[in-house]
Amino acid sequence: MHTVVLGTSGVTPAEVVSVARGTTRVELGAEALTALARAREIIDALAAKPEPVYGVSTGFGALATRHIAPDLRARLQRNIVRSHAAGMGPRVEREVVRALMFLRLKTVCSGHTGVRPEVAQAMADLLNAGITPVVHEYGSLGCSGDLAPLSHCALALMGEGEAEGPDGVTRPAGELLEAHGLKPVELREKEGLALLNGTDGMLGMLLMALDDLARLYTSADVTAALSLEALLGTGRVLAPELHAIRPHPGQSASAANMLKVLAGSQLTGHHQDDAPRVQDAYSVRCAPQVAGAGRDTLAHARTVAERELAAAVDNPVVLDLGSEGGRVESNGNFHGAPVAYVLDFLAIAAADLASIAERRTDRLLDKNRSHGLPPFLADDAGVDSGLMIAQYTQAALVSEMKRLAAPASVDSIPSSAMQEDHVSMGWSAARKLRTAVDNLARVVAVELFAATRAQELRTADGELSAAPASRAVTEAARAAGVGGTGPDRYLAPDLAAAEVFVREGRVVAAAESVTGPLA
């Protein structure tokens, strides 16, 4: 079993995904334990002084003006967790909660939060035991951290609230801790606040979206190539020299992918035959430009995510760990704007990729624009409806993605008696991006379904053959339960199989079995 050892520096995107989506264990390294202990010494020293220090000996937010006596501080830390665990709505997915917990632990291990080593160890133990606190959809404004989601996680550390065990059964958190030999945490000065004050939820969802979108963009290059081929389009527009004179790296990568998939095709280049046309339609000809722009958006979002992974987001933070005194400073690094912006940007890019894929699908089904294919790719058009309604489903998905592309990060609702008067809404941006990513997989799956059927119809007489990579994709899809040509049948199972085939990256794997690695 793989293990991630946490130090004081950041973690990699792959490590976050492996902990969130798998069973990767988490350990605290010696460097992290040293930093945790040193930071706690600073917090304890400040707590012993009469001067108020935010988060250590004061209230929170708009209540920060009250100095809290030493005998009330443990209660203060418990209370912030209990009161902030105020989420509502559906439960958030297990992988999101695990990413949230792991990323908060990563920041705690930086030594800038002042949390004791034993609290950090308890966080790691919870992850390693497979205990997942129940977190709800609504409760984060993406500023002062993902407060309610993180509070529900901290509540479970205290042995309160509800959590899901590794068996998938939800039980009181205290019972699950006891069943796994874990003890509830007694929080001290600064610790309750430190467990709540980060961009960890939105960042975790960004990292998982980037992981998914990398596969989907390559899959979309493959399905675009299959559609171009089935429409008897020309591959000449994919020539490297055409993309070199507009040097966007994502565009060149997408064009190169499509060119590799189409190598050896006997279907391309027939656009001047029975139905002459000077150029292919934009949805075919401009596929690399649109997908490439999305790829470059992914690259930018990845840069932002990596910077955030290297950050220690908390307020206040412990500084000068190496000096004799050390200090605690308030700051605004918990504001989620950098992450929120790219989450919204990715939703826009995903919607446009889905939009152009849907246009290619529609073209494959329209006998007036498909250059010889039967209406709706039906077996006996009129008696059979073929893929008519599969395209309706695809159009509905695209329409929803366009609505989800409306940015959340331009919204702000003041909170905490106007102390927190501008917020990022980054959590909301992340939640809608997850839906958009799911829908994109389905949209690409419908194009795959249509393009492979169109190719089978196009090559049925044996006169021309599709590219070897195209044939490999079609054969793998059929083996995975994505049906081919024939009379009308119950289509939902075919579409579901196509979605799994796309989501799991098997489109790319099948193409790469012929082409070698695709970008």
Query: Does position 65 have pLDDT exceeding 70, yes or no?
Result: yes
pLDDT digits (tens, 9 = 90+) for 228-244: 999 999 999 999 999 99
- Average pLDDT of every residue of the chain: 95
Decide which of 198, 220, 246 is a domain's last residue.
198
Catalytic annotation, pick one of 54, 341, 392, 490: 54
Decide which of 198, 233, 266 is a domain's last residue.
198
Tell me: do 210 and 301 sit in the same domain: yes
339, part of any domain: no
Q: What's the rounded mean pLDDT across residues 35-58?
A: 88
Tell me: do 155 and 54 sit in the same domain: yes
Tell me: do 442 and 422 sit in the same domain: yes
- For residue 112, CA distances in Å to 13, 61, 315 come to 21, 20, 9
pLDDT at 173: 98
Query: Does position 320 have pLDDT exceeding 90, yes or no?
Result: no
Of residues 67 and 175, the one with the higher pLDDT is 175
318, part of any domain: no
Tell me: do 296 and 160 sit in the same domain: no
Of residues 184 and 44, the one with the higher pLDDT is 184
Q: Of the given ranges (136-140, 191-195, 325-329), which has the lowest mean pLDDT?
A: 325-329
223, part of any domain: yes
Decide which of 172, 198, 224 is a domain's last residue.
198
User: What percent of the chain is predicted at pLDDT more than 70?
Assistant: 99
Cβ distance 102 to 5 under 8 Å? no
Residue 122 sits in a domain whose CATH number is 1.10.275.10
Tell me: do 397 and 261 sit in the same domain: yes
Active site residue 54: yes
Tell me: do 189 and 252 sit in the same domain: no
Which has the closest alpha carbon to 54: 65, 40, 69, 38? 65
Number of domains in the chain: 2
pLDDT at 22: 94
Domain that holds residue 150: 3-198
496, part of any domain: yes
Q: Which helix (H) or strand (E) holds 29?
A: none
Tell me: do 125 and 260 sit in the same domain: no
Tell me: do 49 and 183 sit in the same domain: yes
Cβ distance 164 to 134 under 8 Å? yes
337, part of any domain: no
pLDDT at 9: 87
pLDDT at 318: 92
Tell me: do 184 and 264 sit in the same domain: no
Query: Does position 76 have pLDDT exceeding 70, yes or no?
Result: yes
Query: Does position 73 have pLDDT exceeding 70, yes or no?
Result: yes
pLDDT at 276: 64
pLDDT digits (tens, 9 = 90+) for 265-275: 999 987 655 66
419 pLDDT tier (thresholds 50, 70, 90): confident
- Gap between the Cα atoms of 92 and 146, Å rounded: 13
Going by the DSSP 8-state scheme, the letter that residue 6 receives in this structure is E
Query: Does position 322 have pLDDT exceeding 80, yes or no?
Result: no
- Which amino acid appears at position 323 of this protein? S
pLDDT at 271: 62
pLDDT at 50: 85
Tell me: do 157 and 305 sit in the same domain: no
Query: Does position 340 have pLDDT exceeding 90, yes or no?
Result: yes
Please name the residue ranges forming H helices in 166-286. Answer: 173-179, 191-194, 200-230, 240-244, 249-262, 282-285
